[in-house]
Amino acid sequence: MPPAVKVLSAARPPAMIARMVITIDGPAGSGKSTIARKLAARLEIAYLDTGAMYRAIAHAALQRGVDLADRGALLELAKSVRLELDCGPTHTRVRVDGHDVSEAIRGMAVSAATSPVARHQGIRDLLVEQQRALGRTLDSFISEGRDQGSVVFPSADIKFVLEASLEARARRRLQDLGAEGEKVTLSAVRENLQARDEVDSKQWDALLLPGAATVIDTTGLAIQEVIDQMLSVVRRHAPDAVPPKCN
């Protein structure tokens, strides 16, 4: 049996607020991670970045020299690593076998290696099971990824899908990588996102059906504009869940 994924810590909502599960799905570069962190902080609840789990396995494969084309070896690796997550309201920090890899998993090399990991149905099944186990240990939380509202938490109280044009997503990702000191071209980032879209896009198809989720195109929107739209949806569902802003 694989080691159980462990939550190191998590934000806890006020006791008077009923448990609430929010999912955010959509393609890489649509703003999911930044917006999920800021929304979780605004609601004072835990933030679960499920993509970090796939990245952590990809990073472990690169570090250990596991052939990404060897599906059997990849699955054995995924079963053997010990994942630990710190689900704060503004971050998800990740440890693999006791080592913090939160920054190391964000580079382009890991991004490229994540696609074969995410395509592996055995690994997906394993991580979905672990994500559901994490959800059972948390109170209210926001889970962000590519199959959260459709597969992992289909009974979530509120479901969002964030979209954006490929060009906008590539520019955002390039800016993020540049801020982290990684030198990469816009065309390389665009190609990486296109490859990931081919793997991931079917994961949230069911959420695009009428009434299945709230879909927001973030292409021309500022982060706060997106969050304001999401908070409006949360207020309609649970008026007491949104704390007043501090002036």
pLDDT of residue 73: 97
Helix (H, G, I), strand (E, B) or coil at 145: strand
Q: What residue spans of 138-222 are helical by DSSP H?
A: 166-179, 186-200
pTM value is 0.87
Chain CA centroid to CA 99, Å: 20
Phi, psi of 83, rounded to the nearest 5 degrees: -95, 135
Secondary-structure class of domain 6-233 per CATH: alpha beta
Q: Mean pLDDT for each consecutive 10-residue tract of the chain (247 residues)? A: 56 62 92 92 92 95 96 96 86 90 91 90 95 90 93 96 94 86 89 84 86 94 95 91 74
Helix residue ranges, H only, the chain? 32-43, 51-64, 71-80, 108-119, 121-137, 166-179, 186-200, 223-237
For 117, other C-beta atoms within 10 Å of its C-beta total 26
Report the pLDDT value the prediction gives residue 2, as an integer from 0 to 100.
47
| Contact status, residue 74 vs residue 123, Cβ threshold 8 Å | yes
Tokens standing for residue 101: 């890899």
Is residue 71 within 8 A of residue 87, CB to CB? The reply is no
